[in-house]
Amino acid sequence: MLEQDQVAQSLAPRNAEVIVLETHQRAEQATYDILRECLAQITANMAVVQGLPDPEGPHQLRVGLRRLRTAFTALWTVLDSPEMMRLGQEARWFGKEVGRLRDIEVVKNEIVPREAEAHPEQPGFPAIADKLRRDVTKRREDLRQLLAEGRSQAFLIDLSRFVETRGWHVTEDLDQAGELAIPLRKFARKALTKTWKKVRKRGRGIENLNAEQRHELRKALKKLRYTVEFFSSLYPAKEAQRFGKRLKKLQQLCGNVNDAAMVAATFSEKGMLSDTDPKSQRAIGCMIGANKVRAEFVWRESRDHWRRLKKIQLFWK
């Protein structure tokens, strides 16, 4: 028992760490360094989810999986291969499974307490909180079981092999060999420009974007932020940080907009709460309505930040 406690005490959620790249490097070394960091974050937080109830564990695990998929997209010209495609699909599946726990923990730990405090006239919130606690426990156990099963373990082993043996190498692919030898600043500029263009496309006509299009813009912003983080050490810190802060603020605002959709999705699930509990149903209706109103207010602020971001100097140009 003591040994198990010592192991648990040594576990801690692992955030993404700064990847220190050098301008004299080639694309080959940067590709390895970026993927190795993504792998380290995923591996560490898989252990945290299995060993701790800390909600930051699932959050950082999902972040690691998203960063991996972003790396696959940003580094596509050197990584493109059947194995990369397969690992990307597995990371997508895995991320959705982790998200089932992460989303309900956000609702339980952040949104419900906020709305309960804002609407003390609604007596149904304690029952909602109690039901969410039980559901979080069940989803955590389901995820832990999934992490111990063959598909999750095979994904981790195959990803480790792909990274450590540089499994993206195709000996006879001369185009890939040329890309791997590109000076790193040139390679980074191509990746950042490509990702930025996708964001600009998603944000076109921002005043008229529907809920699904707003969600796609949010995902594109997140990918851009991760790509910026991958390569920011190559550029003057002040310029990269200025762009990164603007981008992070806009991404956070878009995330707040997404809360309304997450709340509605959480409480539309069958069996979430009994239809015979009118107090809880009224509290749920109040919560969904309040988050919709908040989302529209925040979206207006997001549009202003988007316009400012478009005008900022791109530090990689």
- CA-nearest of 218, 234, 248, 260 to 106 is 260
**Residue pLDDT, tens place only, 93-144:** 999 999 999 999 999 999 999 999 999 999 999 999 999 999 999 999 999 9
- Binning pLDDT at 50, 70 and 90, where does residue 273 land? low
Give the integer Cα–Cα distance in Å for 183 and 190: 11
Q: Hunting for tokens 């992070």 — which residue is that? A: 248
Mean per-residue pLDDT of the chain:
91
- The answer to whether residue 270 scores a pLDDT higher than 60 is no
What pLDDT is attached to residue 2?
A: 39
| pLDDT, tens only, 48-103 | 999 999 999 999 999 999 999 999 999 998 898 899 999 999 999 999 999 999 99
Measured CA to CA, the distance from residue 135 to residue 185 in angstroms comes to 47
148-177 pLDDT, tens per residue? Answer: 999 999 999 999 999 999 998 877 777 888
Hey, what CATH topology would domain 17-170+181-311 get?
CHAD domain (1.40.20)
Look at 90 and 298; give whichever has higher pLDDT. Answer: 90
Confidence of residue 272 (pLDDT cuts 50, 70, 90): low
